[in-house]
Structure 1
């Protein structure tokens, strides 16, 4: 039994594609590449099937796809030498091939620019409605879990708290420590010109406790944990594990999304507090080295800082956590059927989460400023 093969021969009457052997579905992988690489520059080509020993539907589809591709490239194909059963099978398969969708002509100029803006706005509107629906569904499940705590998947919650929170402590603490050092050094450089070095304590405390500590922690969590959520759930979506859960009457929101969002809500304030403490330690160390502000003086000045600065930062943390979790999980549920889609959605998740966190932080800053806090 001869294996199938495809060869191109140049004859005085023009090129000839000769397909011979047994073209069966179980052995298509051996000839698929040669069919895909067959290229002819226009004109007419004869497809000689006289050497075909056997062919099933899979083999007929491979030949039909080759004929359609060559004709789309401007090459006319004349089939010859096929036996009556093979010709009948090829005809049936070619009639059953789906029609290739026509390519829409791209409108150029000002009109095309307006059309593309409209399409982008329409897509953004659909995405906004989709993520709002996802947020509402998640909050509804969260409310149901508060009423019926026995439905919460505690092992999954504890596992996500470990991944989201405790594993992130070193990088968050280091970030806060370095931010405190930078603020103290830059603040000392400016305040020294006015002989107000002691106010560097107020600068460090207010900046870190009110804004930078929680904000930078949320950005790190969005890049670290948000991307992990999208990648892991997106891979499950590609492998149809989420569809399998629905088949088993398991709610993906309750099983997959809720433990991750709850873990963020619990751990982000803790991580923010750790970043605040590390930032104050770094600022105190640099103030002592560069300005001679002793730890005792630093602590005394720190006690004069309003506790509301710390409270405002902690109030924002749960909102940041919900935002990061919802965006990351929603992006994962939008993944298509390929690994490339997982990469695109993971990137979009990080970018959108960070952007949303900064916007929400700005809105909180305006709100508290108007409230006089």
Structure 2
């Protein structure tokens, strides 16, 4: 007796053994039954299940597997058992555990083709999204009363005002690092005083606005993607379209305006605090008085360096907002997509900002602002 299953071996006229099963062939009892059968070590001429009172799919599969292994028929099956046996017949587990590995010379071109095709769809999506934004801006220009001023102000507070502490601390520390490391290198040539030039030009022209854009991408760009993506999942965006409200006008454009405008302020603010951090190091480590350091900044930094940073800032803010809103609007399916699109928004925004910064560097050098 094995749980609720019993079996016995009977000799038949052909000189073989018949396996006689009785009881309940259920998932709760076939485990111990299988172990005991495997220990018998004899072949069967047939399997008699006329004594089986109850059978489920697992029990039928076990009987079919035994019949296949011993190449013998199953006899004495009731009408219900016959249906189960036919249903599981051929449901073997002899498939390959590991799929065949495609050779690398085939796998790489296939993967590249998939990426190219996906990029094609992405380009169409981006162009469509930009077209919808242009249409939305055109509508708001024709009808200024539809401009969502409250939403714009709210996003300006979120993107700009709330980011002042973290961006200020980051810029201050970066200014300290630049001044300390720059002074250590310039000291070898007896030119420690040129630390003022180094800190002033690199913060106002490059690092101030660049690091701010990266921080805004990680902070606000991800928030844009997550907020709009969650609204897509909860069908709030579809509900807005149903009642005649444009999601582009109410969700996307306010974020673009806020990010573009506030990046100018944040970039300049970041540069100023970076210079302040450098002035602190000048006071502590180089013996340059704090206010003397600031006065020297006005003398050694050309005004076009300030304009370079101010020109790049709104472009970077626009890129960050576009990346966040676009990936948020592409969310569909399930909540996992929100995390994926949020990550893509941050990565694509930072990548685009760095690439554009390189183009700006070449461009301003060509026009004489190098």
**TM-score between both structures, scaled by the size of structure 1:** 0.74
- Counterpart pick for 2:131 among 124, 127, 136: 136
In 2, Cα distance between the equivalents of 1:106 and 1:349?
33
Higher mean C-alpha deviation, range 161-170 or range 121-130: 121-130
Residue in 2 that maps onto 1:112: 107
In 2, Cα distance between the equivalents of 1:360 and 1:49?
75
Map 1:46-57 onto structure 2 (within 5 A): none
Query: How far is 1:255 from its partner?
Result: 1.1
Structure 1 unaligned blocks of 5 or more: 1-5, 20-37, 51-66, 76-103
In 2, Cα distance between the equivalents of 1:161 and 1:72?
65
Residue in 1 that maps onto 2:198: 203
In 1, Cα distance between the equivalents of 2:89 and 2:126?
44
In 1, Cα distance between the equivalents of 2:64 and 2:347?
52
Query: How far is 1:8 from its partner?
Result: 4.7
Offset from partner CA, 1:189-233 (integer Å, 9 cap, x none): 011111211111110011000000000000000000011111111
- Counterpart pick for 1:267 among 262, 265, 269: 262
Query: How far is 1:149 from its partner?
Result: 2.4
Residue in 2 that maps onto 1:219: 214
* Contact 1:9 1:15 (8 Å CA) reproduced: no
- Counterpart pick for 1:149 among 144, 152, 158: 144
Query: How far is 1:71 from its partner?
Result: 8.1
Query: How far is 1:295 from its partner?
Result: 2.3
Matched, 1:312 2:330: no
- Counterpart pick for 1:348 among 344, 349, 363: 344
Query: How far is 1:372 from its partner?
Result: 1.2
**TM-score between both structures, scaled by the size of structure 2:** 0.75
In 2, Cα distance between the equivalents of 1:365 and 1:224?
25
- Counterpart pick for 1:329 among 325, 328, 343: 325
In 2, Cα distance between the equivalents of 1:214 and 1:279?
11
In 2, Cα distance between the equivalents of 1:358 and 1:168?
21
* Contact 2:159 2:216 (8 Å CA) reproduced: yes
Residue in 2 that maps onto 1:121: 116
In 1, Cα distance between the equivalents of 2:270 and 2:185?
24
Q: 1:40 to 1:224 in 2, by over 3 A?
A: farther
Query: How far is 1:277 from its partner?
Result: 1.1
* Contact 1:209 1:309 (8 Å CA) reproduced: yes
Structure 2 unaligned blocks of 5 or more: 1-25, 34-47, 66-73, 81-85, 94-98
Q: 1:192 to 1:226 in 2, by over 3 A?
A: same
Map 1:243-258 onto structure 2 (within 5 A): 243-258=238-253
* Contact 2:61 2:89 (8 Å CA) reproduced: no
In 2, Cα distance between the equivalents of 1:258 and 1:361?
24
Matched, 1:164 2:182: no
Residue in 2 that maps onto 1:74: 92
Offset from partner CA, 1:3-53 (integer Å, 9 cap, x none): xxx96554874896559xxxxxxxxxxxxxxxxxx899776499x998xxx
In 1, Cα distance between the equivalents of 2:135 and 2:90?
52
In 1, Cα distance between the equivalents of 2:53 and 2:203?
75
Q: 1:198 to 1:74 in 2, by over 3 A?
A: same
In 2, Cα distance between the equivalents of 1:197 and 1:39?
86
